[in-house]
Structure 1
Amino acid sequence: MKTTIQTIQCKKNQEKITAITAYDSLFASLFDTQVDIILIGDSLNMSFGGKKDTLSITLEEMIYHTKAVCRGAKKSFIITDMPFGTYATPKTAVKNALKIYQKTNADAIKIEGGQQRCKTISSIVQEGIAVVAHIGLMPQFVRSEGGYKIKGKNDTEAKILLEDAMILQEAGACMIVLEGIRSDVAACISKNLHIPTIGIGSGLQCDGQILVWSDLFGFFQQFKPKFVRQYLNGAELIQEALQKYIFDIKSSQFPSMEESY
Structure 2
Amino acid sequence: MNILNFPERKKGREAIVMVTCYDYTMARIVADSAIDMILVGDSAAMVMHGHDTTLPISVDEMAMHVRAVRRGAPETFVVADLPFLATRKGLEAAMDAVEAVMKAGASAVKIEGIEGQADLVRHIVASGVPVMGHLGLTPQAVNQLGGFRVQGRSEDDRARLMREARECQAAGCFALVLECVPESLAEAITRSLDIVTIGIGAGDRTDGQVLVMHDLLGLTDGFKPKFVRQYMDGRAQVCQALDQYASDVRERAFPAPEERYAG
Matched, 1:92 2:105: no
Q: 1:74, CA displacement in angstroms? A: 2.3
Q: Hey, what's the Cα distance between the residues in 2 that align with 1:78 and 1:179? A: 19
Kindly tell me the number of residue pairs found equivalent between the two proteins: 258
Matched, 1:124 2:124: yes
Aligned equivalent of 2:174: 174
1:82-231 superposed matches below 5 A: 82-88=82-88, 89-102=90-103, 104-231=104-231
Superposed CA RMSD:
1.1
Partner letter of residue 24 of structure 1?
A: D
Aligned equivalent of 2:259: 259
Q: Hey, what's the Cα distance between the residues in 1 that align with 2:181 and 2:116? A: 19
Q: 1:10, CA displacement in angstroms? A: 1.4
Q: Hey, what's the Cα distance between the residues in 1 that align with 2:242 and 2:230? A: 21
Contact 2:60–2:100 (8 Å) recurs in 1: no
Q: Hey, what's the Cα distance between the residues in 2 that align with 1:4 and 1:90? A: 27
Contact 2:59–2:100 (8 Å) recurs in 1: no
Aligned equivalent of 1:8: 6
Q: Hey, what's the Cα distance between the residues in 2 that align with 1:121 and 1:50? A: 30
Q: Hey, what's the Cα distance between the residues in 2 that align with 1:194 and 1:249? A: 58
Identity rate, percent: 37
Deviations 1:97-135 (A, max 9, x none): 122223x12100001013432111011111111111100
Q: 1:155, CA displacement in angstroms? A: 1.5
Q: Hey, what's the Cα distance between the residues in 2 that align with 1:212 and 1:96? A: 23
Q: Hey, what's the Cα distance between the residues in 2 that align with 1:153 and 1:116? A: 23
After TM superposition, which residue ranges in structure 1, 4 or more long, deviate above 3 angstroms?
none
Partner letter of residue 5 of structure 2?
A: T
Partner letter of residue 99 of structure 1?
A: A
Contact 1:8–1:36 (8 Å) recurs in 2: no
Aligned equivalent of 2:35: 35
Q: Hey, what's the Cα distance between the residues in 2 that align with 1:68 and 1:98? A: 17
